[in-house]
Amino acid sequence: MKAMLIWTINDYPAHSILFGWSGQGYKACPTCNEDTPAMRVKNKIVFVSHRPNLESNHPYRESLEFNGKVDHTSKPRKFKVADIENQLTYLLPVGNPSKNHTNVGEKRKRPPNCRHNWTKISIFRKLVYWKYLPLQHNLDVMHIEKNVLEAILDGFGSNFRHKVNKENTNITNMKSHDCHIMMQRLLPVGINAFLDETISTPIMQLCAFFKQICARELMVADMLKAQKQLIKLLCILELIYPPAFFDIMIHLVMHLPEEAIYGGPVYMRWMYPIERYMKKLKNYVYRRDLIVLTDMWTGQLGHVSFVCSTRYVNLSVKVCSNLWPGMFRINFTFKAENPNMDMKTNFPSWFTNQIRKLRSVDGSKYSDELICLSEGPVGTTNHYSVCNVNGVRFVVSNRDDRCTTQNNGIETLADAGARVSKYYGRLEDIVELH
């Protein structure tokens, strides 16, 4: 089998780690690279000055309303594969320079007066095709949309929050999907009634852009047009809102149309399905006050075991025809009797009932193995507080707390990307599966 990694989908901090480009500081935008438009306002770095992205003859270029100066700066450069490769050669390996010079994935030092934000050579660059991919790491629209909405609601110019009835103060602490609905459906209607047109119109246009980019179908021509409008829109926002409004999330909006051109519709490349899956895993955990990562993965393991058990029965029916002479015909019987049923989900219970019926007529004809197979995995488990494995006695932490000696410490090896790492923990439960 051959597989290819087309891109990754992460929130922005993880994006920075995987890309190997720091999301902090003056060069926080990996797309703009060295040409990221940034300045310091008190203790905050802000990303204003979007005028260089406009056409060279655009009236805003001559306007003194922005910062009292005309702006004839050329457009930010498009950094090609060779440029990036060249930048990466300037990274200095951390530790002993005499060995592992070319190891990817390791932290590197930037030389003094460095003009870029590379922190390491990403592990993905081991893939020979990776550097040629136009879109390697998706900017996640879900998180960007949430951050933009929170910035708008945070009182920058609009004071929208103060327009909300005091009895309904739950406008804050919204989840990502609440922000999605708010941004695309409610905010345009809400601000239209309360704010001055000069302020409400750009926000409504921004909402319209998010709605457009989240559509099921995207046209390249529409995205090119949207990109031009978006740059103009960001310039208008610069005239209305204070510089502190323009954090990196507002700046990243500018790159969304280009990513949509390379990657296609946004709904295929955002984190909603991943977040939903994480919620599903969390639901496996019955004690919400003790949610830890291992619990979630145990939950996933349980889910995988369940799926595998079902498949095991399916597979066994096909393979183990020596258990029962009629086995090889049973798939056809199921399909003939239930033409509209999904075999993957309904076959195991049908098979169980079928064998039970046959056994009720003459049980002696069927082997124990076949009967066990038809009954499927047992749903109950046994829990123990102590067990002996290879001569070593393990005790769960609850019970060990009452003892003077401790036998609940466990160590496990886990594949943490480039290397295998050791993880340590306490034994919380011993479960016997049947």
253 lies in the site for Zn ion, by CB under 5 A: no
Of residues 29 and 152, the one with the C-beta less far from Zn ion: 29
Of residues 29 and 260, the one with the C-beta less far from Zn ion: 29
Q: Rounded to the nearest whole angstrom, what is the least distance from the CB of residue 28 to Zn ion in the complex? A: 8
Dihedral angle sign, alpha carbons of residues 120, 123, 127, 131: negative
Q: Rounded to the nearest whole angstrom, what is the least distance from the CB of residue 130 to Zn ion in the complex? A: 21
Distance CA 325, CA 245 (A): 74
Of the residues 9, 28, 32, 182, which one makes contact with Zn ion according to CB under 5 A: 32
Q: Rounded to the nearest whole angstrom, what is the least distance from the CB of residue 32 to Zn ion in the complex? A: 3
Of residues 23 and 348, the one with the C-beta less far from Zn ion: 23
Of residues 269 and 324, the one with the C-beta less far from Zn ion: 269
User: Residue 137 corresponds to which amino acid?
Assistant: H
Stretch that binds Zn ion, among 3-11, 24-32, 118-126, 376-384 (CB under 5 A): 24-32
- Site mask, Zn ion, residues 193-222, x = CB under 5 A? ------------------------------
- Long-range contacts from 214-218, C-beta under 8 angstroms, 24+ separation: 214/141, 214/180, 214/184, 214/266, 214/267, 215/265, 216/265, 216/267, 217/265, 218/260, 218/264, 218/265, 218/266
User: Residue 22 corresponds to which amino acid?
Assistant: S
Radius of gyration (C-alpha) of the chain in whole angstroms: 29
Q: Rounded to the nearest whole angstrom, what is the least distance from the CB of residue 222 to Zn ion in the complex? A: 21
End-to-end CA distance of the chain, in Å? Answer: 33
Q: Rounded to the nearest whole angstrom, what is the least distance from the CB of residue 294 to Zn ion in the complex? A: 38
Of residues 35 and 145, the one with the C-beta less far from Zn ion: 35
266 lies in the site for Zn ion, by CB under 5 A: no
159: Cα separation from own chain's centroid: 31
Of residues 32 and 179, the one with the C-beta less far from Zn ion: 32
CA of 161: how far to CAs of 168, 181, 208, 268, 290, in Å?
10, 16, 21, 32, 34
Name residue 382's beta-bridge partners: 432
31 lies in the site for Zn ion, by CB under 5 A: yes
Distance CA 432, CA 416 (A): 28
Q: Rounded to the nearest whole angstrom, what is the least distance from the CB of residue 16 to Zn ion in the complex? A: 13
29 lies in the site for Zn ion, by CB under 5 A: yes
188 membership: H or E segment, kind and range: helix 187-194
Stretch that binds Zn ion, among 22-30, 200-208, 303-311, 391-399 (CB under 5 A): 22-30
CB 291 within 8 A of CB 282: yes
Closest CA to 148 of 76, 198, 205: 205
Of residues 253 and 427, the one with the C-beta less far from Zn ion: 253
Total chain residues near Zn ion (CB under 5 A): 3
250 lies in the site for Zn ion, by CB under 5 A: no
Binding site for Zn ion (CB under 5 A): 29, 31-32
